[in-house]
Structure 1
Amino acid sequence: MNRYFKSAYLFGVLGGLLGIISFFTLSFFNEDPTTLNLIFGYVIVPISIYLALRYFKDYSNHGYISFAEGMSVGFVAYMIIAILSFIGIYLILSFDSSLFELIKSSKIDTLVTSKETIVSQVGDNSYEATLESVKEMEISDVALNDAIWKIVPGLFFTIIISIILRKNPN
């Protein structure tokens, strides 16, 4: 079982650390690094999954990988990325509460400046509920949101990459 997940652990940890580093670095250049970090996640997650599956196929499984093996290795890789990203962002925001307050105020400002557009699309009640939700936001909400947006595309890319790399022995 360990051979199945050696590559997943390796590239999952690498992707998770890159996610943490990107959040930390982006916090110096932008008062709300969450949006740019999500975009960076859309790049690093598929690359990490591809490398994990390719490494498993080439070095652990004699050049073969089934769809199920690809899904298993990919799942472990993107879950490790998401968990490490959650922990890293949570710790960064816990130690730097002013950054969390900047993120929160930025999200509130975005909602306030876009009120007319949002209300026309979803209605006044939804807008008010969203605004209240953002005002009550906690550090764990920011970290969990980032983790979720590592998992969702991770599943999507794992399916695609597993299909592309699939090669069963004859």
Structure 2
Amino acid sequence: MYRYFNSSYKFGSIAGALSIIAFITLSFLYPDPTNLNLVFGYVITPVAIFLAIKFFKEYGNSGYLSFAEGMSVGFVAYMLESIISLGGIWLVLLIHPDLFEQIKLSKLDVLASSKDSIVSQVGGDSFDLTLESIKNMIPFDIALNDALWKIIPGLFFTIIISIILRKNPN
């Protein structure tokens, strides 16, 4: 079992650590680093999945890869990345509550500046519900959102990469 997930652990852990580093770095450059960190996640997640599956195929499985093996290796890679990212971002926001408040204020400002557009598209009740949810937001919510936006594309990329790299013995 270890040979199946050796590369997953490595690349998932590296991607998770890079995601935390990106969040911290972006927090120095922008008042709300969450959106750009999501974009970073869209770049690093498929790279980590590809490398994990490719390394498993080449170095752990003699050049062969079934779809199920690719899905398993990719799943571990993106789940580990998202869990490490969730824990790291949550910890950063707990240690620096001023950063959390800055992010919260930024999200409230964006919501207020686009109120007319949002109300016209989804209605006043949806706007009020969104406003209330942002006001009640806690640091874990930001970290969980980041993790979820690594899992959802991670599944998609794992399917595609597993199909592309699949090679069964003849």
1:69 shift after superposition: 0.3
Q: Secondary structure of 1:13's partner?
A: helix
| 2:130 corresponding residue in structure 1 | 130
| 1:148 corresponding residue in structure 2 | 148
Q: Structure 1 unaligned runs (5+)? A: none
Name the amino acid aligned to 1:8.
S
1:107 shift after superposition: 0.3
1:35 shift after superposition: 0.2
1:56 shift after superposition: 0.1
TM-score normalised by length of structure 1: 1.00
Query: Whole-Å Cα distance in 2 between the matches of residues 118 and 141 of structure 1?
Result: 22
| 2:90 corresponding residue in structure 1 | 90
| 2:157 corresponding residue in structure 1 | 157
Query: Whole-Å Cα distance in 1 between the matches of residues 123 and 74 of structure 2?
Result: 39
Query: Whole-Å Cα distance in 1 between the matches of residues 121 and 41 of structure 2?
Result: 28
RMSD: 0.3
1:153 shift after superposition: 0.4
Query: Whole-Å Cα distance in 2 between the matches of residues 129 and 103 of structure 1?
Result: 19
Name the amino acid aligned to 1:116.
D
Could you give the per-residue CA deviations for residues 113-133 of structure 1, whole angstroms, max 9, x where no partner exists?
A: 000111111100000000000
| 1:15 corresponding residue in structure 2 | 15
Q: Structure 2 unaligned runs (5+)? A: none
| 1:52 corresponding residue in structure 2 | 52
Q: Secondary structure of 1:31's partner?
A: coil
Q: Secondary structure of 1:62's partner?
A: coil
Name the amino acid aligned to 1:26.
L
Name the amino acid aligned to 1:163.
I
Aligned length: 170
1:44 shift after superposition: 0.1
1:29 shift after superposition: 0.1
TM-score normalised by length of structure 2: 1.00
Query: Whole-Å Cα distance in 1 between the matches of residues 121 and 3 of structure 2?
Result: 50
Name the amino acid aligned to 2:118.
I
Q: Secondary structure of 1:14's partner?
A: helix
Query: Whole-Å Cα distance in 2 between the matches of residues 129 and 12 of structure 1?
Result: 35
User: Which consecutive aligned stretches of 4+ in structure 1 deviate over 6 angstroms post-superposition?
Assistant: none
Determine whether 1:39 maps to 2:31. Answer: no
1:5 shift after superposition: 0.3
Query: Whole-Å Cα distance in 2 between the matches of residues 2 and 64 of structure 1?
Result: 17
Among all aligned residue pairs of Structure 1 and Structure 2, give the percentage whose two residues are the same amino acid.
64
| 1:77 corresponding residue in structure 2 | 77
